Amino acid sequence: DTGVSQDPRHKITKRGQNVTFRCDPISEHNRLYWYRQTLGQGPEFLTYFQNEAQLEKSRLLSDRFSAERPKGSFSTLEIQRTEQGDSAMYLCASSPTLTGRTDTQYFGPGTRLTVL
């Protein structure tokens, strides 16, 4: 059983550019989460999907951020008009709904974004 994968692992961009990250959850995991983690802090919740439905979004998720999970499998997180304050590690996690440890989230390796 492969784990959660994220692509790319690192992204350097200039301020004002758009970036898109991809997350592939563990197969058959219905739930998918995006987090942002800045240096010295714990992960901060951004958004949650159950299958293809985005059911919850944090106030942290400004209008420049959008996330999709079109077929209930992989997900993308797009940041438009990036700002230096967007520099962070973006973590994706998934968890099962019907079987296994339904309360536990399994994290991917993250995408480290640097905005110059």
Partner 1 sequence: AQKITQTQPGMFVQEKEAVTLDCTYDTSDPSYGLFWYKQPSSGEMIFLIYQGSYDQQNATEGRYSLNFQKARKSANLVISASQLGDSAMYFCAMREGLGNQFYFGTGTSLTVIP
**Alpha carbons 13 and 24: distance in angstroms, whole number:** 22
CB 55, min distance to partner 1, A: 7
61/79 with CB nearer partner 1:
61
For partner 1, the closer of residues 80 and 106 by Cβ is 106
Query: Measured from the CB atom, is 48 or 74 closer to partner 1?
Result: 48
Give residues with Cβ within 8 angstroms of 13, minimum separation 6.
Answer: 19, 82, 113, 114, 115, 116
Of 23 and 93, CB closest to partner 1: 93
Contact between 109 and partner 1 by CB under 8 A: the answer reads: yes
Q: Which of residues 28-87 bind partner 1 (CB under 8 A)?
A: 31, 33, 40-45, 48, 50, 55-56, 58
Q: Is 107 a residue that touches partner 1 (CB under 8 A)?
A: yes
Q: Which parts of this chain interact with partner 1 (CB under 8 A)? A: 31, 33, 40-45, 48, 50, 55-56, 58, 89, 91, 93, 101, 103-110, 112
